[in-house]
Chain A
Amino acid sequence: MSTDRTTRRKVEAGLPRRRRKEARFKVLGMLATAVGILFLGVFFASLIGKGASAFKQTYLQLEIELSETVLAPDGELDLAFADFEGLVRASLRRELPDVTGRQDRRELYRIVSIGAGYQLRDLVAGNPELLGTTQSLWVPASSNIDMLIKGNIDASLAEALRPVSDKQIAWVEFFREAGRLETRFNSALFSNGDSREPELAGIKGAVMGSLYMLMVTMVLSFPIGVAAAIYLEEFAPRNRWSDLIEVNINNLAAVPSIVFGLLGLAVFINWAALPRSAPLVGGLVLTLLTLPVIIIASRAAIKAVPPSIREAALGLGASQTQVVFHHVLPLAMPGMLTGAIIGMSRALGESAPLLMIGMVAFIVDVPGSLTDPATALPVQIFLWADSPERAFAERTSAAIIVLLGFLLVMNLTAVILRKRMERKW
């Protein structure tokens, strides 16, 4: 009886201390979570705050006379040499007739993007019958004007300290008051390749490059990775060699990605003589990078298949191959796909190995095949972040938002696939 009571007393004496410890741990856990969420919040807020404006672009409305005498002085229209830029300039001169003098006029021309000329050319190329008419067109403003309108250039600064002159501000004001200045959805961001002019630069080239690369990576690394995992898990004898292979695969997953880039440079470009800057080579390098991830995830998924299912099939007289393909693989597939998609997201966000194989070049054209020179989204972000123009800063953030969007979609797909395909036993 007395021992009973001393036991209870001891337990009760210790209780407050245990409760305090638990409370302390809870607070610490909550703090850790809060710090994580705070950082994430700051990251997203700054990203969206900086990048959201890049999805809009300032446009000016101009009355442009598609004069035959300028475009086709010899009576024949040559799209490659016709002076579309001259038409835009003439239109600006007509709008603001008081601007005289070479210096002022040059400044005036700079409020409109050189993309206006390309836009005119494309218009005339598609509709030759417009030649000789006067068209009212919305053309992109230059990036400095765009920045001014979005408030990214402080007009109260001394004139020498900002890239927009007082006169340019006055001209823009003229257009704005006439209702001929608008900010619209920046479709160029999604339909153009890279450009030196921020207002013309888009991510389409980089997105296509990334997609081509991921296609190569998916097509190669998923079957190879799954096949390797099945062999190692189900067929390979357990001995020193398989241990060695296992250790090496686990180590490969931790190798810095730039090393894979060097390997790709040495093997695919130097030795196999594949083209530089090509998504094909990028995809091959990313395949090397994601293979260990997929193998490890697939092996874990295979290991998670309950042995009772294997035994049931073996007991019925299924061969090892039938056990694998009829039972193990279907049950392990959700885990394998999740692993593959996580590997793919890692590959999509990878830039270092691509630098080594020349995918860091300035490439304007949108790649149309696996061997066309291309760049990738993360590399495009790196290139834009490196550019001095003010307008590239917001485009960098916008490209990061798009990249994160892709990653989000991929990871969501992984979650949904797993939920859908999960089977109970």
Chain B
Amino acid sequence: MVTSEGMSTVTEIPERRTELTGETVGNIRSDHPFMVAEDVNVYYGDNHAIQHVSLEIGKKEVIALIGPSGCGKSTFLRCLNRMNDTIETARVTGNITLDGKDIYRKEQDPVALRARVGMVFQKPNPFPKSIYDNVAYGPRIHGLAADRAELDNIVHSSLERAGLINEVKDRLDEPGTSLSGGQQQRLCIARTIAVNPEVILMDEPCSALDPLATARIEDLMDELCEDYAIVIVTHSMQQAARVSKRVAYFHLGLLVEVDETDKIFTNPRHKLTEDYITGRIG
């Protein structure tokens, strides 16, 4: 592992915590907070899936959520655009604000929220429609384009920003499902940015892709973070190290540590974080 090389030099730091107290070490604050989670709890029935998580997500930054399977990072991600609403037994408490406004307040329409907080899923999931219609779907349902020319424009610029335009510009009528896995995932990203969201949530977007396709998506994230806040859940430490500015480590439903990416990977302040990034757990 790339990151485990430097580990040996930092293991003697005296302030390292070992116990799982529920208190988050490091710095949950962001310089330009855009989405702020305060004391978020999620219950699936009786299962307390996320416990007292507070985290700030900054404007135009990539923040990676890492942690072993079942630690609650995807659950937390799905709180940010209220996708947990679709799970009947799920209950969310605490506060999450987007640009200062509570997204769980009564007047907040989840449909409007999801237009501002887009999502890219683990498995590429293009609609069984043409490439064009896949990208045009979001703008169509939200009425973003006044006429066909404007819609064409949105579709083209979205595909361009997703780095897919050269591969598909002559075959926009072909089904999105005819593309390769990596292309499909970039199509899904194009579909998400076509709505022009402010935050993009990515739930292990590269776990079903080969290294080359993964590299393309990571490059894409570097470009996209100039305009969007990106929250990415990943199992790959290298990916977190490469793309993110900050990293949040989740463990058993608790947010254990949050900090700048280099700090986490060179000098983790919690024993569990260290164990995870050095490959001892997870």
Contacts and interface: CB of A to CB of B under 8 A. Distances in A.
A314 B109 CA distance: 12
B153 interface: no
Contacts of B114: 314-317
Contact of B119 (A237, A315, A423): A315
A417 B86 CA distance: 32
A327 interface: yes
Interface string B122-145: 010111100000000110011000
Interface string B72-106: 00000000010100101000000000000000000
Contacts of B43: none
Interface string B228-265: 00000000000000000000000000000000000000
B142 A314 contact: no
Contacts of A312: 121, 125-127, 188, 191
B195 A316 contact: yes
A199 B43 CA distance: 76
Interface residues of B, number: 28
A317 B88 contact: no
B195 A309 contact: no
A315 B128 CA distance: 16
Interface string A315-348: 1111100100011000100000000000000000
A241 interface: no
Interface string B4-44: 00000000000000000000000000000000000000000
Contacts of B111: 317-319
Contacts of B126: 312, 425
B127 A308 contact: no
Nearest to B138: A316
B205 interface: no
B118 interface: yes
B115 interface: yes
Given A423-B128, A425-B128, A316 B86 contact: no
Interface string A128-171: 00000000000000000000000000000000000000000000
Contacts of B191: 312, 316
Residue among A237, A306, A315, A322 with most chain B CB within 10 A: A315
B85 to A, nearest CB: 9
B177 interface: yes
A313 interface: yes
A19 interface: no
B118 A315 contact: yes
A246 B111 CA distance: 30
Contacts of A316: 114-115, 118, 137-138, 141, 191-192, 195
Interface in A389-425: 423-425
A331 B128 contact: yes
A312 B121 CA distance: 8
Given A317-B112, A317-B138, A425-B128, A308 B88 contact: no
B26 to A, nearest CB: 29
Contact of B177 (A237, A313, A319, A424): A424
Contact of A309 (B115, B125, B192): B125
B127 A327 contact: yes
Nearest to A312: B125
B127 A318 contact: no
A314 B113 CA distance: 11
Contacts of A423: 128
B257 to A, nearest CB: 28
B278 to A, nearest CB: 34
A77 B107 CA distance: 84
A311 interface: yes
A238 interface: yes
B195 A314 contact: no
A423 B188 CA distance: 19
Interface string A27-38: 000000000000
B125 A308 contact: yes
Contacts of B188: 312
Contacts of B142: 317
Residue among B81, B86, B115, B188 with most chain A CB within 10 A: B86
A48 to B, nearest CB: 44
Contacts of B81: 315
Contact of A308 (B83, B123, B175, B195): B123
B20 to A, nearest CB: 31
B159 to A, nearest CB: 16
B83 A317 contact: no
Contacts of A314: 83, 86, 114
Residue among A312, A326, A425 with most chain B CB within 10 A: A312
24 contacts: A308-B125, A309-B127, A311-B83, A311-B121, A311-B125, A312-B125, A312-B126, A312-B191, A313-B127, A313-B137, A314-B86, A315-B81, A315-B83, A315-B192, A316-B141, A316-B195, A317-B141, A318-B111, A319-B111, A326-B141, A331-B128, A424-B177, A425-B126, A425-B128
Interface of A: 237-238, 306, 308-319, 322, 326-327, 331, 423-425
Given A310-B86, A326-B141, 18 more contacts: A308-B121, A308-B123, A309-B125, A311-B83, A311-B86, A312-B191, A314-B83, A314-B114, A315-B81, A315-B120, A316-B114, A317-B111, A317-B138, A317-B142, A318-B111, A319-B111, A326-B137, A425-B125
